[in-house]
């Protein structure tokens, strides 16, 4: 028997495992996908001429296996190995409500391919549900999680600038990746034209300057290659494979099992506690059971809901920890895909390298500027100069004419993309399909989720604001999105087992502990009571570290 089982090895699972192992607990991490080796499994060494089919996944492969995954910006032949085959991992949605579930099943999960934008939620985010009445009131406030943000940022390594903004708290930062000259012009124009708005360097989990703590794990400073989604052999960006799992392994308390799909969690009806998990071997399809004193479910929001709903028994006819009926409900993703692109007259200057981040415009609606909706949004993007690639491929030609064209630097291009908050809504939910199963015999999930009127109003304002800011910087808008991208493309799904004060309207308490199952903790996106508009992975990791601390204390005290 183990002290703790952690289901999932990605952002939250890796961090939970590290913290539990460092507290002396024998910890088993179960990953449904294959094993990856840090460095050895990556493709960041490939040159453009090494990429099959020039990096483009063949259309016939997309049609047969990757219709959904191929819609992620980061998928190409160098990263194809990281994305699941849709044909092998089906799920269902209503015909009129598409949800694009982007997934990676392997050791390290989506921490291998994430965009690394790392922002704290603010005091106003933790208070929002209570103030406007949407969703369950968070059982914690910013002050409860702030020390854990500090703890995680130091370990992960987040590059950023301190700005003193109430809606976007500062953290424990490495030096920021500075804005380029055109972005500084954009910043000055936007901040002058729109008082209350700020343009700051994007905060990214890339080591602008590695510390001795990072180097002790074999990580080193960022090389500014911007090949991050292929995996980074330098360990310059944070992933479970480069950070939390090696840290857990060096304690001697970690065991990892890959190729094992968690079917369900076992609960003893007499004690009310979870006793272990049932898994199905990915390859042999044979079942087996692992036992532990406590369980952390970190499989990602939709998969966690699937596991809980599938953990039915006579004592739990509606699934585990689901007396409230809230498991699977309040599915959220960020409103995404709202882009504005334009040309800009910038300085005749140059920059070197490809930064792993760009600029960020923190939320200002319903902070310093009112909106006819609740909550708010931020923008991510950058201003870059088109160069030899565009000039070389933009027109036919060979020889001298081609060479001369590639020496010319092109215009500055500004591109900003809005990310808006989606309200918790119990009608947006994940359920188990009543009749369809996957090839391992598990019920597939059915996802029923759509944007509400608040999100639709917000989306229109995001595009209008984006256009106004590009034009304020002297830009000419070439493209502006008319509608948000399909839900799921934000790749920030959350909310299906939310935290809350009331067991009747929530699944987890202030320690990420199931109200009904005291030794079950859920610390992935499922735990989120609201989404904020900031990228959520940093919050998942902070919640995971905090919950692991309390779980260890509870185990020592014999409380669970």
The CATH classification of domain 2-160+231-332+430-443+493-557, taken from the options 3.60.15.10, 3.40.50.2300, 2.40.50.100, 3.50.50.60: 3.50.50.60
Nearest to 104 by CA among 420, 544, 491: 491
Mean pLDDT of 391-408: 79
- State the angle between helix axes of 537-557 and 11-22 in degrees (0 to 180), rounded to the nearest 10: 30
- Paired with 361 in beta bridges are 379
8-state DSSP, 548: H
Confidence of residue 386 (pLDDT cuts 50, 70, 90): confident
Confidence of residue 300 (pLDDT cuts 50, 70, 90): very high
d(CA 551, CA 296): 9
Considering only residues 553 and 48, tell me which one the structure prediction assigns the higher pLDDT.
553
**SS3 assignment, position 551:** helix
pLDDT digits (tens, 9 = 90+) for 506-534: 999 999 999 999 999 999 999 999 999 99
Q: Computed over its alpha carbons, how large is the radius of gyration of the chain?
A: 23
Q: Is the pLDDT of residue 401 over 90?
A: no
Mean pLDDT of 387-416: 81
Percent of the residues in the chain that have a pLDDT greater than 90, as a whole number: 93
Considering only residues 450 and 54, tell me which one the structure prediction assigns the higher pLDDT.
450
Q: What DSSP assignment string belongs to 353-397?
A: S--S--EEE---BTTTB--SSSS-EEEEEEEEE--HHHHHHSS--
Q: Is 484 exposed, middle or buried (0-12, 13-18, 19+ CB in 10 A)?
A: buried
Confidence of residue 404 (pLDDT cuts 50, 70, 90): confident
Nearest to 413 by CA among 340, 343, 352: 343
Confidence of residue 408 (pLDDT cuts 50, 70, 90): confident
d(CA 190, CA 187): 5
Mean pLDDT of 475-495: 96
Which tokens in the block code for residue 317?
């006819």
Burial 138-169 (b: 16+ CB within 10 A, else e): bbbebeebeebbebbbbbbbbbbbeeeeebbb
Q: Quick one: pLDDT at residue 405?
A: 80
Q: Quick one: pLDDT at residue 407?
A: 79
Q: Quick one: pLDDT at residue 403?
A: 83
Q: Is the pLDDT of residue 388 over 80?
A: no
Confidence of residue 302 (pLDDT cuts 50, 70, 90): very high
Q: Quick one: pLDDT at residue 409?
A: 82
Confidence of residue 376 (pLDDT cuts 50, 70, 90): very high
pLDDT digits (tens, 9 = 90+) for 138-160: 999 999 999 999 999 999 999 99
What are the boundaries of each domain within the chain? 2-160+231-332+430-443+493-557, 163-202+335-420+451-486
pLDDT digits (tens, 9 = 90+) for 204-231: 999 999 999 999 999 999 999 999 999 9
Q: Is the pLDDT of residue 202 over 90?
A: yes
Q: Is the pLDDT of residue 453 over 80?
A: yes
- Paired with 290 in beta bridges are 277
Q: Is the pLDDT of residue 389 over 80?
A: no
Q: Quick one: pLDDT at residue 395?
A: 74
Mean pLDDT of 320-341: 97
pTM of the predicted model over 0.75: yes
Confidence of residue 112 (pLDDT cuts 50, 70, 90): very high
Number of H helices, E strands in the chain: 12, 17
Task: Please give the mean pLDDT across all residues of the chain.
Answer: 96
């Amino acid at each position: 028997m183990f002290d703790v089982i952690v289901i999932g090895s990605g952002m939250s699972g890796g961090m939970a495992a590290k913290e539990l192992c460092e507290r002396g607990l024998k910890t088993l991490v179960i990953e449904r996908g294959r094993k990856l080796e840090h460095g050895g499994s990556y493709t960041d060494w490939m040159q453009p001429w090494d990429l099959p089919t020039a990096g483009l996944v063949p259309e016939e492969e997309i049609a047969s296996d990757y219709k959904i995954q191929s819609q992620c910006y980061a998928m190409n032949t160098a990263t194809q190995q990281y994305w699941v085959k849709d044909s092998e991992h089906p799920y269902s949605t209503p015909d009129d409500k598409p949800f694009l579930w982007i997934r990676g099943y392997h050791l390290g999960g989506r921490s291998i391919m994430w965009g690394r934008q790392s922002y704290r939620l603010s005091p106003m985010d933790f208070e929002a549900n209570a103030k406007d009445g949407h969703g369950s009131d968070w059982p914690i406030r910013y002050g409860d999680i702030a020390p854990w943000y500090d703890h995680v940022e130091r370990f992960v390594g987040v590059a950023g600038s301190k700005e003193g903004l109430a809606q976007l708290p500062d953290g424990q930062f490495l030096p920021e990746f500075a804005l380029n000259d055109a972005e500084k012009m954009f910043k000055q124009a936007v901040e002058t034209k729109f008082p209350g708005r700020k343009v700051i360097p994007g905060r990214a989990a890339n080591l602008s300057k590695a510390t001795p703590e990072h180097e002790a794990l074999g990580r080193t400073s960022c090389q500014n290659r911007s090949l991050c989604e292929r995996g980074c052999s330098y360990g310059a960006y944070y992933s479970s494979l480069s950070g939390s799992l090696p840290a857990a392994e060096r304690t001697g308390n970690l065991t990892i099992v890959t190729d094992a799909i968690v079917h369900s969690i076992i609960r003893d009806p007499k004690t009310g506690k979870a006793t272990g998990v049932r898994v199905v071997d990915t390859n042999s399809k044979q079942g087996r059971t692992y036992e532990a004193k406590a369980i952390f479910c970190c499989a990602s929001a939709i998969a966690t809901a699937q596991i809980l709903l599938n953990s039915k028994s006579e004592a739990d006819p509606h699934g585990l920890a689901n007396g409230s009926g809230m498991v699977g409900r309040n599915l959220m993703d960020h409103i995404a895909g709202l882009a504005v692109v334009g040309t800009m007259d910038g300085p005749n200057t140059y920059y070197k390298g490809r930064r792993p981040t760009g600029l960020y415009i923190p939320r200002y609606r319903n902070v310093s500027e009112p909106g006819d909706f609740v909550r708010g949004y931020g923008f991510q993007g950058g201003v870059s100069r088109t160069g030899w690639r565009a000039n070389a491929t933009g027109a036919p030609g060979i020889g001298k004419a081609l060479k001369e064209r590639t020496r010319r630097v092109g215009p500055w291009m500004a591109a900003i993309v809005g990310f808006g908050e989606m309200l918790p809504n119990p009608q947006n939910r994940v359920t188990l399909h009543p009749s369809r199963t996957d090839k391992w015999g598990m019920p597939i999930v059915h996802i029923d989720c759509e944007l509400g009127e608040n999100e639709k109003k917000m989306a229109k304002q995001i595009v209008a604001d984006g256009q106004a800011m590009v034009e304020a910087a002297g830009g000419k808008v070439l493209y502006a999105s008319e509608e948000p991208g399909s839900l799921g493309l934000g790749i920030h799904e959350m909310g299906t087992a939310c935290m809350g004060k009331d067991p009747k309207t929530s699944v987890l308490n202030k320690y990420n502990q199931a109200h009904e199952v005291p030794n079950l903790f859920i610390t992935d996106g499922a735990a989120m009571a609201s989404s904020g508009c900031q990228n959520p992975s940093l919050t998942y990791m902070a919640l995971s570290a905090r919950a692991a601390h309390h779980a260890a204390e509870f185990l020592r005290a014999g409380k669970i």
